[in-house]
Amino acid sequence: MARANLDWENLTFGYRKTDCNVRYTWRDGQWDDGVLCEDENIPVHMAATCLHYGQECFEGLKAFETRSGDVVVFRVDENARRMVASCRKILMEPPPEELFIKAVRRAVNANRRFVPPYGTGASLYIRPLVLGISPQVGVKPATEFLFVVFVTPVGPYFKTGFKPVDLLVEEFVDRAAPLGVGDVKVGGNYAAGLRATVAAKQRGYTEVLYLDAKEKKYIDESGPANFFVITRDGQYITPQSDSILPSITNKSLITLAEELGLRPQRRSIAVTELPDFAEAGCCGTAAVITPVGSITYRDQKIVYSTDGEAGRWTSVLYHKLRAIQLGEEPDRYGWLTRIDPD
Ligand code: PLP
Ligand code: COI
């Protein structure tokens, strides 16, 4: 099938209609066989638990065309597992890992013409979600669930691409509480942070950096991504916290950092330590690796990049990760799953 006619090099990170999505329903104690559906709308009962009580979670992963022309997805098994954790935490029926992977294959294959060509910098973003769909008025879990996977071709999350961004340390809004749901990918976490992100953008910052909600002393993560720093003596450090999302990109960078001799470590990072580091970055599926040019904390601006470019180790990590995703380097850790045409 001919590839879709899109301006692949200039795609933004936004929703774009593709050919179809895939939907499975949990009812009477089982998942059905799922359907491929052209409709972009979901009929939802007005008393569904996803609408009132936030029984919703989602995932984000990417498919790429490799240098040799294969279509691959990156670490789909990890996203499958994380969706199980998200569902369990808010008492939803988790799609089993095999079903998750099958649904991703189906959605990608049904939209193969939207997989961006190798070399364009774009990717096919895959967005699985689970919703509580049965009606409840009392605060109770749903008994029926909808599992949807849609895809959309995307460019960089931050419009500058691989260029340093400016972050603002957020002191007045918490994204997630210590014993709350910050460690799973539920929609409410993003709703909680919207007002912080919008206000920061109005002040000219790219995103916020949240502090731990209890003490306001330690860095948690950014709105849409995890956070890491590189020390002056070349060490990769990323926050240890129970209220951040366990990022699959970060987990991958820790592996690559180890390989590169960066002695990766997860530990609490005090906000007062920020001036001591050589480089800082955000990482996530959408953000990939985004170098951080500056972080503003109260009236102090800590600058990591003065020339508008990423630091040395941030660049090395970025290019290594991208090379693996695009099949330019051997997939030594088995991170890629090939999606063969049906
Ligand atoms: N943190 C938050 C709040 C996110 O939304 C994401 C995106 O998924 C990440 C971190 C990065 O996670 P991953 O690398 O698995 O995409
Ligand atoms: C992702 O990186 O996949 C995410 O879900 C982040 C989102 C805020 C776009």
- Which residue among 238, 285, 321 is best mutated to probe the pocket of ligand 1, counting the most ligand atoms within 8 A of its Cβ? 285
- pLDDT over 70 for what percent of the chain? 100
The pLDDT value recorded for residue 36 is: 98
> Which two structure tokens, joined as six digits, stand for 278?
């050589």
Where exactly are the structural domains of the chain?
Answer: 8-154, 165-325
Mean pLDDT over residues 173-195, rounded?
97
Look at residue 44 and tell me whether its pLDDT is greater than 90: yes
- pLDDT per position as a tens digit, 16-26: 999 999 999 99
Cα angle 289-292-298, degrees, rounded to a multiple of 5? 140
Ligand 1: nearest atom to the Cα of 61: 16
Query: What confidence tier does 246 reach under pLDDT thresholds 50, 70, 90?
Result: very high
Q: Is the full-model pTM beyond 0.95?
A: yes
* Residue 1 pLDDT > 90: no
Give the residue-averaged pLDDT of 95-107: 98
Q: Enumerate residues 6+ apart whose C-beta is below 8 A from 107.
A: 20, 21, 22, 126, 149, 150, 151
- 115 pLDDT higher than 90: yes
| pLDDT mean across residues, the chain | 97
Q: Which atom of ligand 1 is nearest to the CA of 249?
A: 14
Question: By the 8 A CB rule, do 183 and 167 touch?
Answer: no
Say if ligand 2 is within 6 A of residue 187 CB: no
Task: Tell me whether residue 235 is exposed, middle or buried, using C-beta atoms within 10 angstroms of its C-beta: 0 to 12, 13 to 18, 19 or more.
Answer: middle
320 belongs to the catalytic site: no
Q: What is the pLDDT of residues 191-220, one digit of tens each?
A: 999 999 999 999 999 999 999 999 999 999
Q: Residue 305 and residue 308: Cα distance in Å, rounded?
A: 6
285 lines ligand 2 (CB under 6 A): yes
Q: pLDDT band at 236, cuts 50/70/90?
A: very high
List the Cα angle 74/78/83 in 5-degree steps.
120
Cβ of residue 61 lying under 6 Å from some atom of ligand 1: no
Compute the distance between CA of residue 90 and CA of residue 123 in angstroms, rounded to an integer: 30
165-325 folds as D-amino Acid Aminotransferase; Chain A, domain 2 (3.20.10)
Judged against a pLDDT cut of 90, whether residue 31 lies above it is answered with yes
For ligand 1, the distance from its centroid to the CA atom of residue 264, given in whole angstroms, is 19
8-154 topology per CATH = D-amino Acid Aminotransferase; Chain A, domain 1 (3.30.470)
Mean pLDDT value of segment 254-260: 98
pLDDT of amino acid 30: 98
185 C-alpha to ligand 1 centroid (Å): 8
The confidence score (pLDDT) of residue 160 equals 86
Tell me the best of 170, 222, 226 to mutate to test the pocket of ligand 1, counting ligand atoms within 8 Å of each CB and taking the most. 226
How many whole angstroms from 189 Cα to the centroid of ligand 2?
12
pLDDT mean over 45-52: 98
Q: Determine the pLDDT at residue 159.
A: 87
**Ligand 2 centroid from CA 284, angstroms:** 7
pLDDT of 197 reads 98
Nearest ligand to the CA atom of 221:
1
Percent of the chain with pLDDT over 90: 99
Determine the distance separating the centroid of ligand 2 and the alpha carbon of 14, expressed in angstroms. Answer: 11
Distance from CA of residue 325 to its chain's centroid?
15
